[in-house]
Amino acid sequence: MRKRTYEASEATKREICAALKVSMAQKPLNKITVAEIMQSCGMARQHFYYHFEDIYDAVRWMFDQEAVALLREHEGVMLWQDGLLQLFQYLQENRAVCLCALHSISREHLRRFFQTDVHVIIQGTIQRITEELNYHVSDGEVDLLTKFYVGALASMMEEWLLGNIQETPEELIRFTDQLLKDHVRGAALRMAEPPPEMGQNYSEKP
């Protein structure tokens, strides 16, 4: 009984969010009312609040179920590029809705929302690369590298969504993948080099 109730609640949430997406493709979020969303669903207005606190809560749930879920399906670090590509495709297919959210919700809030799951994937990728190179990295260094690349990816996706970056998602993912690998390889090579002798002058040629 509990399972059927949960499934019915999830189905209702999806129906409400489908109506919300239609409105978001047409006007700003602050111009959308709960009453019009529920009227489109053929439900009473008060039923909305059985499932969501407000419209912003519905937007967060919608992105979590539709966009971030694409990344969770690719938690295997070997498939992180596939997960990001699907996320780009979702942004493309729902560009009007995503732009509505971007212009209506704090950019930092929306960025943090996506970063949570991207963080796990990028962190696993860095750890895999370092293991392949037999390069020991401290937890602090992994965390710092992860934050750096997650922030860069979030900014890049935002600029791409706004139309300020013209490269294709495939090109952007290849660029990020190569940059990440080069960064870790360079760090591994630097650590493998013998320390310079005391008093060595780097400006002098051998």
In the three-class reduction of DSSP (H, G, I as helix; E, B as strand; rest coil), residue 190 is classed as: helix
* CA distances in angstroms from 127 to 89, 138, 174, 181, listed in the order given: 27, 10, 19, 11
- Count of all residues that appear for the chain in the document: 206
Rounded Cα gap, residues 112 and 106, in angstroms: 10
Q: How many CB atoms lie within 10 A of CB 190?
A: 9
Q: What is the pLDDT of residue 18?
A: 94
Q: Is the pTM of this model over 0.85?
A: no
At 95-151, the pLDDT tens digits run 998 888 888 775 666 666 666 667 777 787 777 777 776 777 778 888 888 888 888
* Cβ within 8 Å of residue 142, ≥6 positions away: 123, 126, 127, 130
Delineate the domains of the chain, giving CATH numbers in brackets: 54-192 (1.10.357.10)
Token reading at 173:
């993912």
* CA distances in angstroms from 92 to 5, 76, 161, 163, 194, listed in the order given: 34, 24, 8, 11, 48
Interior CA angle at 30 toward 63 and 102, to 5°?
40
At 175-203, the pLDDT tens digits run 888 888 787 777 767 665 555 555 555 44
**pLDDT, averaged across the chain:** 79
Token reading at 5:
């109730």
Q: What is the pLDDT of residue 202?
A: 46
Residue 74 has pLDDT above 60, yes or no: no
Instruction: Provide DSSP, 65-133.
Output: IIIIHHHHTT-SGGGHHHHHHHHHHHHHHTHHHHHHHHHHS-HHHHHHHHHHHHHHHHHHHHHHHHHHT
Q: What is the pLDDT of residue 79?
A: 57
